Structure 1
Amino acid sequence: MIQRTFLIDVMFGVQQGNTDIFLSSQESEAAYTPSTAWPQTCAVAEAKFFKHVAARAGEDSFHLGCLKACAYILVGYNFSPYELKTVLMHLLTAIPVECWSQSYFVQRMEDILHYLRCCVEEKRLDHFLIGNKAVPAEIILPWEFRVSVPPNLFQRVARDPDRHEQALYETEMLRDRFKTLLTSGK
């Protein structure tokens, strides 16, 4: 008989009003966050968005496959998985769900990389849930989220010319890595 050990991370969350936004006990990326300071998390709202898309997409929808491919090609670059997920969420509201089937995989990945490149050129990637009128109504957001100006996830790129140059270079490297993945599978 094989014995297995599982580690379970318990994370507490407090719902913010009657919304899909929570305050979470999960540690933030800040160097020091007191245990009494719980950061706001959009994880439930984002999961609800992906469920919303899946409910409207066909069985052969490959939008999550695109997300996995993005995570794979991202390794070693300065873009975070969250930034690529944000790009994907923006495109899921802009491109009809029937165009996310596996037969469109290459085209959708090219769209993701092109959108990322445009955001880097503009030095701006808007937060998906804040100030975005394209967020489906069934995702319950605080009123402040709906009416606020979306924060720029690429502030570091906008403020630092060296980071901007590096990000432009890395978008080209991501395209090359994707082409290599298509041709060699690696």
Structure 2
Amino acid sequence: MNTPKLLQLKMAWLAAKEAGDTQAQMRLLQEHPSQQDELIDFIAGYQATGGNERIDPQASLLPLTERALGNALNRVFVTEQAFATLTELRKSRSLSKVEAARGLRLSVDVWNKFESGAIELVSLSQRQLERLAQFFQVSIEQFSGSLTESQPAVTLNRRQTREAARNAQQGPHKQSFADAIARSTMSKEDQQFWLE
């Protein structure tokens, strides 16, 4: 907080700095212990910004500085990451299937159906999509896209008949979210939570 007293100390320090009087600069710090922290912060900021040296806006940055600036901007202005599948999304949050199911108030069998792409996207209401996306801290569009891309790994049993193999390659049996909940082992409260 810039009190009149602190402003006077800053101006006195700047005057001593311009005069090259390091003794006066040190005396200001020693004689005003209650404003010492604020004054030190001011001095550090002054030095970090180049002091009274003129900054050339056309000067090129060093590659290391450019990389550091890029990393800092990426951390501040996080770009939306796209996750190909719900499995990748869950793993990016360091969650097991059980933890994801528990956090969402779903049974593991219902969450498995999500990850395998067996839940039809069109069967989800806007509110349900919001809850799912909010849990993973992604947009509804990101969650929907990950659900659409989620497909089971197709494994073929060499002993299968040709027709059974063809049916297995067609993908999972799709079902509505409401049907998956009705057939699940979820508690009545959790079923009601999702179906309200």
Report the TM-score when normalising by structure 1: 0.23
Report the TM-score when normalising by structure 2: 0.22
Structure having the higher helix fraction is: 2
